[in-house]
Amino acid sequence: MKNLSFIIFVLLINLGVLGANINGTVKVEDSDSLGVFVYIEGQNKYDISDSKGRFNISGLQMGKEYTLVLQKGSLQDYKKSFKVISENTVVNVVIPSEKAENNEKLISKNSSTAKDTTSKTIKSTAVEKDNIKNPDNVNLTEKKTEVSEVKAVKISKVNLTGKVNSVLSSDIFLQLSGQSYGIIVKPNGNFKLNLNPGKYTATFMQEGAFTKKITFNVGKSGTDAGTIVMEAIDFNNLTLNLTEKLENGVVQLYKDGFLEYSSKADKTSKNILIKGLKKGKYDLVVKAFGKEDFNSEVNITGNVNIDVKFNELAKENKIFVNIFPKDAETELRVFDGNQMIKSMLVKDIAVIEGLDSKKIYSIETLDSKYKKNEIKRVVTGDNVNLNLVREIKGTVISGYISPFNSGAKIMVLDKGQILAETTTDETGYYELEFSEKLSGEKNIRVSAEDFKDEIFVENFELGKTIYEKNVMLLPYTTKISGNVSFDKGNNLSNVLVLIEELGIWQFTNAKGEYYFNNLPESEYEITFKKLGYTTKLEKVKATKDEMSKKDVVLNPIGKLVFRSNIEEYKINLNGKELMINSKLYESIQGMGVITVTGIKSGYLPITTKIKLTEAGEIRDIIFDFVNIEEQNKMVKSKIANINSDIKELKIAEAEESLSELSKMKSLKSYEKDYLEIKGS
């Protein structure tokens, strides 16, 4: 009996310690007080104010300090710190509109007013939440009430300022982590960014200069970044020395994951010259039919020579495994009978090497996210596919939030508890996975700065595991968005989308999307550019508080580089004639077969066909013009020498000269003489 009394005593103490509440009223100036999201920072507890602005959060610890965060639509977040010193603490606060001053106004309450507030709360046994699932209300009739009058603080934005110096004249592109788009800084110009306090990584990019990444800690009073100096880079050449001429060869250079150079190899030469490279590290890939890809990291610090040696494509001791979906990462195990001989973490494509061509193996995948996938009989030389099926024991909620770069936060809410939360990735995708199955009605809240909150109720069924929720957020301000594609609607990523008038820019995401928010009402000229594609300028009118949409198609292009032994000549490109006044000339062309003819009066014409198949491809065309008059003199001289050799019975010399004569481009004029000599 004593033990039971002691247990009851302990339970009563714990209920007192963990059973404290806060409740109060939030008032929003120049707006209604319904739907203010109130939550405890660092705790999974929240409430949403009703039409009268009332909120209640229970289950707090007596004597502990907490921070309330209050969010309402387009208004900036507010924070209020307080200490729970009684079983029931009343916190009343006013959130000023954006037109009001930045100082927080606290509703002052004397003891008698506090009693009136408590009385009103007791009478409101049924609280309206207007379309929001209502947490259980706490009965306050038997609880002591304490009014908290701690000051709430508005989370104000501050400035990150600085200057960028450069000896180059091109614009500097500044991108800050966590921001939806970057800004343009003029060389030797100042920049100013309005941000929330926190840690940011700034990337400074300028054509002809090294990219710089700098981390800044932006304090509550702002931060001066000082002067950032861009370092100019030289342009250099890369020469590839091949051990053999390539049939259907392709050369590619990647820098920081982006394709910088792509061209087909000249099948008549063992040397490939790539000009105009910036200093830095590149990933070199050389491909050829029937050969293993040649991969090498190249550090360009001047003019560099690389020897390229291929290995024959051998499958005798290898098994090739294709993993689907391609972005899935899993453990791949290889068994020889019952003994595991290899284990590796793989993604997309795996090559299992060092196997015995006389043995039969089995392979399997092992990952907590996916069901076990097994293939019993595989031998070297096989190319197999493994389709991974998601292993879901609980509930998965996923989808896309538009616009993709809103940086939205997604919360799953239930009876005052935040069950889970996450933020979108760079594509706007999110995923929340629960170890146990959800059941019943739950609230899902999607919020992002400068966008209207979306809160909806989802009824989770016990037999269903996957829920897809795609949400389009409605912004409060003027915006421009669209899609960039090429070749019959294929999305084009990493396209630079630039509004130069405002000095802002961004890259399209993996789905080819771009999105600008908070734009002044006006008509803007937007530039769309990407290496290997046509550059487009489009005018778009941004209408106040509306969405202006502009989809753009960029055409893939390549470059023809003409090198000639004479200064002035004409070229005919698929019927279009151009006058050239230089030994070196470059022409941008679309994809496909291009017939090129070089023409010069008094010289033999030269015709060739070029096929451009890849965006950004560069092809060299050599015009070694032959003067007809000089060639005629040479042909006459050759014929005379051959006849002389024949008379003197120098048959070997005559045959050699005859072979050289047959290769001359102006031979047709002397075809009769040539045939007579050849017949003799």
Alpha-carbon distance values, 303 to 45, 238, 239, 255, 298 (Å): 62, 6, 8, 17, 11
Residues (pLDDT < 70) of the chain are 1-18, 74, 97-155, 247-248, 289-290, 312-316, 645-651, 654-655, 657-680
At 665 the pLDDT is 52
CA distance 135 to 118: 19
Residue 390 DSSP symbol: B
CA distance 369 to 394: 11
Let me know how long the chain is.
680
pTM: 0.61
CA distance 497 to 43: 40
At 228 the pLDDT is 92
At 451 the pLDDT is 85
CB count within 10 Å of CB 122 equals: 12
**Which residues of 448-556 form beta strands (DSSP E)?**
454-460, 466-468, 471-472, 479-486, 490-491, 496-499, 504-507, 513-516, 522-529, 536-542, 547-549, 552-553
Task: Sheet with 271-278: list strands edge to edge.
Answer: 271-278, 235-242, 304-308
632: region left, alpha or beta (phi > 0 left; psi from -120 to 50 alpha): alpha
At 407 the pLDDT is 87
Give the pair of three-digit tokens for residue 213.
Answer: 């990444």
List the one residue out of 114, 121, 120 whose CA is nearest residue 148: 114
At 110 the pLDDT is 31
* Positive/negative CA dihedral, 338, 341, 344, 348: negative
Q: Which residue has the tokens 């099926």?
A: 389
| Cβ neighbourhood burial of 289 (10 Å; 0-12, 13-18, 19+) | exposed
CA distance 380 to 357: 5
